[in-house]
């Protein structure tokens, strides 16, 4: 498995579309409802690509050969008082690659990237009760709390989200 930062995802677009569609179909709570249409997934990745080009987001992918097996994004805060922090977004692992450490390795690489970019404070949210909560806790993230009724599910019910943070420099 190789993890690398990408500044343009065009060469990986078909693999990323497939991963997003399959990840959502497998139950991931990353802002989409299943079934996710490939055209909607592709439009999402075009938006991410625009963010990569403008510096509004940084992205890592994990791959084995040309098969993308995971990705994660880091959105730096651009406000004057927040240039030390960034938000972890859209950690996803291809359903065929679950259980082999892809998510953990992506997060460790993302923390290194955040420090290189001068962003020692990371924040994130995840669906309450999701398996990702355990990953973040094992990686040393601190649970801040839960926001009830944060999402609206496809059936009209609401889902909660849990907020985490981590100081990578451990000085604050």
Domain extent, residue 110, equals: 2-167
Q: Could you give the number of structural domains in the chain?
A: 1
- Expressed in angstroms, the distance from the first to the final Cα of the chain is 33
Q: How far apart are alpha carbons 160 and 172 in whole angstroms?
A: 28
CATH of the domain at 92: 3.40.630.30
Q: What is the pLDDT of residues 26-84, one digit of tens each?
A: 999 899 999 999 999 999 999 999 999 999 999 999 999 889 999 999 999 999 999 99
Q: How far apart are alpha carbons 87 and 118 in whole angstroms?
A: 13
Q: Got the DSSP string for 29-66?
A: -SS--SSPPHHHHHHHHHHHHHHHHHTS-EEEEEEETT
Determine the pLDDT at residue 171: 55
> What pTM was estimated for this model as a whole?
0.95
| 172 within some domain | no
Alpha helices in the chain (DSSP H): 13-25, 38-54, 102-116, 132-138
């Amino acid at each position: 498995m190789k993890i690398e930062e990408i500044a343009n995802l065009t060469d990986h677009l078909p693999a990323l579309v497939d991963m997003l569609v399959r990840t959502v179909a497998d139950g991931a709570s990353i802002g989409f409802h299943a079934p996710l249409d490939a055209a909607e997934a592709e439009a999402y990745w075009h938006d991410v690509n625009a963010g990569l080009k403008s510096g509004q987001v940084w992205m890592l992918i994990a791959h084995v050969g040309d098969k993308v097996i995971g990705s994660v994004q880091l959105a730096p805060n651009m406000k004057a008082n927040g240039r030390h922090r960034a938000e972890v977004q859209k950690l996803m692992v291809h359903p065929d690659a679950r259980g082999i450490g892809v998510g953990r390795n992506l997060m460790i690489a993302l923390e290194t990237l955040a420090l290189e970019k001068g962003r020692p404070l990371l924040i994130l949210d995840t669906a309450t009760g999701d398996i990702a909560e355990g990953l973040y806790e094992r990686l040393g993230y601190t649970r801040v709390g839960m926001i009830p009724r944060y999402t609206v599910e496809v059936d009209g019910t609401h889902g909660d989200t849990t907020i985490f943070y981590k100081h990578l420099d451990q000085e604050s």
